[in-house]
């Protein structure tokens, strides 16, 4: 099973601050995804990323969110001005090869906005 790490494991921030969540696949992957899970709620798709560009995004992924893969390795999710309702677990998922490949999830980052 492909390995992927996420940093930090827990981030506490003040409302209005910017946060960057990082996803680091251990080996080469082509397809990246961000999901979030508000405590006690369903997992929600945020965005998919392929070939260094966004391939799809959900309604949740508004202008305060952005993703990039600046160095060809780390895959980041930036939230520009955090809101209380952004408090959630954020999961990075990767797919190794083809578009039909299984998505494997990182351990998640718990974001707490105060």
Partner 1 sequence: AQTVTQSQPEMSVQEAETVTLSCTYDTSESDYYLFWYKQPPSRQMILVIRQEAYKQQNATENRFSVNFQKAAKSFSLKISDSQLGDAAMYFCAYRVLDSNYQLIWGAGTKLIIKP
Q: Going by C-beta distance under 8 Å and a sequence separation of 6 or more, which residues neighbour residue 52?
A: 69
Residue 34 forms beta bridges with which residues? Answer: 47, 92
- Give me 9's structure tokens: 């494991």
Query: Taking CB under 8 A as the rule, does residue 110 contact partner 1?
Result: yes
Q: Is the peptide bond before 8 cis (omega within 30 degrees of 0)?
A: yes
- Give me 71's structure tokens: 């160095």
CB of 55 to partner 1, least distance (A): 6
How many chain residues are in contact with partner 1, going by CB under 8 A?
28
Query: Taking CB under 8 A as the rule, does residue 90 contact partner 1?
Result: no
Query: Taking CB under 8 A as the rule, does residue 105 contact partner 1?
Result: yes
CB of 89 to partner 1, least distance (A): 6
> Which residue from 42, 53, 59, 62 is in contact with partner 1, where contact means CB under 8 A?
42
- CA 106, CA 34: separation in Å to the nearest integer? 10
Residues in contact with partner 1 by the rule CB under 8 A: 1, 31, 33, 35, 37, 41-45, 48, 55-56, 58, 89, 91, 93, 95, 99-100, 102-108, 110
């Amino acid at each position: 099973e492909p390995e992927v790490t996420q940093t930090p494991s827990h981030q506490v921030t003040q409302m209005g601050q910017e946060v960057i969540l990082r996803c680091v696949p251990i080996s080469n992957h082509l397809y990246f995804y961000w999901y979030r899970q508000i405590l006690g709620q369903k997992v929600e798709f945020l965005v998919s990323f392929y070939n260094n560009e966004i391939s799809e995004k959900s309604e949740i992924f508004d202008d305060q969110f952005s993703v990039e893969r600046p160095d060809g390795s780390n895959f980041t999710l930036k939230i520009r001005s955090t809101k209380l309702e952004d408090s959630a677990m954020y999961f990075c998922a990767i797919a190794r090869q083809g578009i039909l490949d299984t998505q494997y999830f990182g351990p998640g980052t718990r974001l707490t906005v105060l």
